[in-house]
Structure 1
Amino acid sequence: MRLKVSTLSVKDLYTEKQSNIIRYVTNNDYFMLINHGAKRTGKTILNNDLFLMELRRVGRIAKELGIDRPQYILAGATLGTINKNVLIEITNKYGIEFKFDKFNRFELFGVLVVCTGHSTIGGLGAIRGMTSFGAYINEGSLANEEVFNEIKDRCSGEGARILVDTNPDHPEHWLLKDYIQNPSDAIVDFHFELDDNTFLSERYKKNIKESTPSGMFYDRGIKGLWVSGDGVVYSDFNKDIHFISKEQAEQLNLSSYFAGVDWGYSHYGSIVVIGTDNKGNYYMVEEHAKQYEEIDYWVGVAKDIKDRYGNINFYADSARPEHIARFKKERIRAIDANKRVLSGIEEVARLIKNQRLFVVYDVAQRFREEIYKYIWNERTGEPVKENDDVLDSLRYAIYTHVTKPKAGISGKNAFTR
């Protein structure tokens, strides 16, 4: 039986950091409040509650002004993430059901809430020209800057306020430089790190810290810092741990295989084969990397792999759909790879950090060069697009394998790129 919220004290509901922010917003006026920092720290949970508080406040203001249907903007990277991060969480916590009209709007506490995606310029259509009494921007660092500014400009109703929550990004990001690093009476921010969430067990926090890749991912994910990578991308890779010999590989009892494909010509094209065991470990058992080869060559490589490993999945770079079509024509199971860069790198880096990814040294000539030359761009926080061909095919294979739809979900490629 769910315990009713009304029977709980503030300490049962909120961490000290969250309580301090609620105390601030209750006793101070502001135009924009930004909660930013590490994952799993309660930023969105807090903003979801502040969102409900804001709707009630807007309803009162509108009533005093004689406005029957005041408008409010609810924005997320996509409509799907709004539903997942905000609306479903509110429904689960408070039992509030949302009834949408054909324009992706719903009414709550007498306020008409207009939902829009903010990650692309297409989000402008839903809000252009409207007068809003406030906005809640979820995952603010993912917003298109023009859409973010338009949301801000639309908030011209009496007493309008804007709530923002976000994970950190690179240190040149406009949200950091233009807003967080320029606080005022109108713009306030609060920083979260993992240890601020006192509802998490010490065991959980210890495990998360120890399993998070070193460098940028740790600084962002645990400390909540806006930092770029420094040095090599896979800094936890240790040749004495992660390379295994061909003789060691022959002793493995691998249960399944899949492949990753990065198309190339003047730069290296690459196909890697990954095997897994029943302990959840991954092994790169084959590397095929060549320059100046046409699609016929790669079809031959893939057919040879298929003959030896069976009809396995080839998770391929979607940038060359004609090559994927050719693979399919040749009855090779080619599937568009999930190409999310940072998420994919983080997954590979986590396996390396946890000593669950190994590479057969004897077959990995190109990998042996790239692993120490693949570096971060300190300005953008993205990896430099050099020395990444085999590493891209490895990332495509592992991240798509990990995130692929479960059995029973129709369609092979349920990803948003």
Structure 2
Amino acid sequence: MPIDLDAVGRTLSPVHLRSVVESTARQNIWQGSVRSGKTVASLLRFLMAVATAPSSGRILLFGKTRESVNRNVFAVLTDPDLFGPLAKLVHYNPGAPLGTILGRQVDVLGANDAKAEPKVRGMTLCLAYGDELTTVPEAFYTQVLARLSVKGAQLFGTTNPDSPAHWLRKKYLLRAGELNLRTWHSTLRDNPHLDPQYVADLAREYVGLWYKRFILGEWRSAEGAVFDMFDEDRHVVDELPAIVRWVSLGIDYGTRNATAALVLGVGADGRLYLTHEWRHDPAVARRQLTDRGLSRELRKWLSELEVPGAPGLSGVLPEWTVVDPAAASLRLQLFEDGITPALADNSVLDGIRLMSSLLGNDQLRIHRSCTGLLEELPGYSWDDKAAERGQDAPLKADDHSIDAARYAIKTPEVLWRPLVRGSLDLAA
């Protein structure tokens, strides 16, 4: 079945149409902001390559995980609005190691750590497609290139910008002139089919570092303060509104270090509030608490908390108790004491990005009683040495309350997201 280039072409901007024609190199990489159209353009070119690929050699699709490949690649390929009848010729069961595209069997691999590299050894590839290339290990990418040994073999891939020191930029993109590599850069302006309101909303969802990378499409370093959008005058409150839903209790666990707990609620004004904080620091208290002691003190503290807007009422019972993934013993103790704990989502950068967006859009405020968190926020900084290696990582110091807040916010996002109003509504 021929590819209807006219139909697909109507969804592409001039830069993307040009990229489909020009992508004849061994490596072909589309880079730029989110929703800039690079995925559709690269997948159109990939389909054309699959249709004409030699019978010798295998075809590989890879990304950080098989789940991300399913979400970012197969979900697009099977969209009839984009690829018409061809969408029916793409088949994949989420999580499976194999799929079918245009009648051709394809391998699907996740590459989320250094152990992924051996997965591709021994393959003889004629074609490969990489989703979000900056999220896969360098060793894996290098091995994929080594396996592209069939005559005329090609790689197609996409990426959002990352650190300027990232291996993909330094070792490949900046060397496009000397390598058999073509690359194209695009921004939101290169996707003419996006609703203007959606573009405006998307731009507000990213702040600081991520706005520069994901909206402007710039390769920027993580440097300085992590939460540079935090403003005490704007984000710290002395009085809480009525809390319409007690979402979560986030707990960061320490033995020699501090254990911190933050309560998250949704206010009647449609904002998130970090309402109360509990900390036990052995260095300050001059005594350590066992897991049983921590559980007892936390439960006592929750039972005595004053309920905002309800004089005389005390006791808060959050719907989720979200605990540090490293705190298996505390989770067991809480369970024995009648609290069912949830394992915290410890995706550090995703959690930081979410907190940053909420602060930047004035959708998150903090009560002044959360002193540990308020002391940590201004000094929480990016690690310059990690940035030199092309990695985004905060300095691991004075972050116990920040981690507790991140757990409380990120893990139950599905619960609070429908209840929090947009920044335009909150500006009033």
- Which interval holds the TM-score relative to the shorter structure? 0.7 to 0.9
Residue matched to 1:282: 272
Change (3 A) 1:127 1:396: same
| Displacement after TM superposition at 1:316 (Å) | 0.9
User: What letter corresponds to residue 128 of structure 1 in structure 2?
Assistant: R
Any conservation in 1 of the 2:30–2:159 contact (CA below 8 Å)? Answer: yes
| Displacement after TM superposition at 1:70 (Å) | 3.6
Any conservation in 2 of the 1:15–1:199 contact (CA below 8 Å)? Answer: no
Residue matched to 2:219: 226
Aligned positions of 1:117-266 closer than 5 A = 117-184=110-177, 186-213=180-207, 215-245=208-238, 248-249=239-240, 251-266=241-256
Select between 124-133 and 78-87 the one with higher mean Cα deviation. Answer: 124-133
Any conservation in 2 of the 1:261–1:316 contact (CA below 8 Å)? Answer: yes
Any conservation in 2 of the 1:70–1:111 contact (CA below 8 Å)? Answer: no
User: What letter corresponds to residue 285 of structure 1 in structure 2?
Assistant: T
3-state secondary structure, aligned to 1:237: coil
| Displacement after TM superposition at 1:7 (Å) | 9.6
| Displacement after TM superposition at 1:212 (Å) | 2.0
Cα separation, 1, equivalents of 2:225 and 2:123: 47
Change (3 A) 1:217 1:370: same
| Displacement after TM superposition at 1:126 (Å) | 4.5
Residue matched to 1:22: 20
Tell me, which stretches of 5 or more residues in structure 2 are unaligned? Answer: 81-86, 283-287, 304-314, 418-428
User: What letter corresponds to residue 55 of structure 1 in structure 2?
Assistant: V
Cα separation, 2, equivalents of 1:99 and 1:342: 29
Any conservation in 2 of the 1:367–1:390 contact (CA below 8 Å)? Answer: yes
Given candidates 343, 358, 379, the residue that maps to 1:373 is: 379
Cα separation, 2, equivalents of 1:107 and 1:283: 47
Select between 199-208 and 35-44 the one with higher mean Cα deviation. Answer: 199-208
RMSD of the alignment, in Å?
2.5
Residue matched to 1:400: 411
3-state secondary structure, aligned to 2:397: coil
The alignment's TM-score, normalised by the length of structure 1, stands at 0.85
Residue matched to 1:333: 340
3-state secondary structure, aligned to 1:318: coil
| Displacement after TM superposition at 1:389 (Å) | 1.0
Is residue 323 from structure 1 mapped to residue 334 from structure 2 by the alignment?
no
Cα separation, 1, equivalents of 2:105 and 2:247: 51
3-state secondary structure, aligned to 1:95: helix
Residue matched to 2:27: 32
The alignment's TM-score, normalised by the length of structure 2, stands at 0.83
Residue matched to 2:402: 391
Tell me, which stretches of 5 or more residues in structure 1 are unaligned? Answer: 407-417
| Displacement after TM superposition at 1:405 (Å) | 12
| Displacement after TM superposition at 1:57 (Å) | 2.3
Any conservation in 2 of the 1:302–1:332 contact (CA below 8 Å)? Answer: no
Cα separation, 2, equivalents of 1:317 and 1:305: 19
User: What letter corresponds to residue 89 of structure 1 in structure 2?
Assistant: V
Is residue 74 from structure 1 mapped to residue 61 from structure 2 by the alignment?
yes
Change (3 A) 1:192 1:267: farther
| Displacement after TM superposition at 1:104 (Å) | 2.5
Change (3 A) 1:296 1:14: same
Cα separation, 2, equivalents of 1:347 and 1:333: 25
Any conservation in 2 of the 1:284–1:358 contact (CA below 8 Å)? Answer: yes
Q: Deviations over 1:70-107 (max 9, x none)?
A: 4111112122222221122211232224267x982344
Is residue 270 from structure 1 mapped to residue 277 from structure 2 by the alignment?
no
User: What letter corresponds to residue 358 of structure 2 in structure 1?
Assistant: L
Q: Deviations over 1:310-335 (max 9, x none)?
A: 36321111112111111111112311
| Displacement after TM superposition at 1:6 (Å) | 4.7
Q: Deviations over 1:40-90 (max 9, x none)?
A: 1122222221111111121xxx3xxxx5x5411111212222222112221
Cα separation, 2, equivalents of 1:108 and 1:314: 43
Cα separation, 1, equivalents of 2:4 and 2:188: 27
Cα separation, 1, equivalents of 2:205 and 2:61: 34
| Displacement after TM superposition at 1:168 (Å) | 1.9
Any conservation in 2 of the 1:195–1:205 contact (CA below 8 Å)? Answer: no
Q: Deviations over 1:260-319 (max 9, x none)?
A: 000113332100111112543111111112212322342123212443113632111111
How many residue pairs align between the two structures? Answer: 386
Cα separation, 2, equivalents of 1:204 and 1:405: 21
Any conservation in 2 of the 1:303–1:332 contact (CA below 8 Å)? Answer: no
Any conservation in 2 of the 1:315–1:337 contact (CA below 8 Å)? Answer: yes
3-state secondary structure, aligned to 1:181: helix
Cα separation, 2, equivalents of 1:367 and 1:108: 50
Change (3 A) 1:107 1:283: closer
Residue matched to 1:51: 46
| Displacement after TM superposition at 1:122 (Å) | 4.6
Change (3 A) 1:334 1:156: same
Residue matched to 1:299: 295
User: What letter corresponds to residue 325 of structure 2 in structure 1?
Assistant: S
| Displacement after TM superposition at 1:359 (Å) | 1.0
Is residue 364 from structure 1 mapped to residue 370 from structure 2 by the alignment?
yes
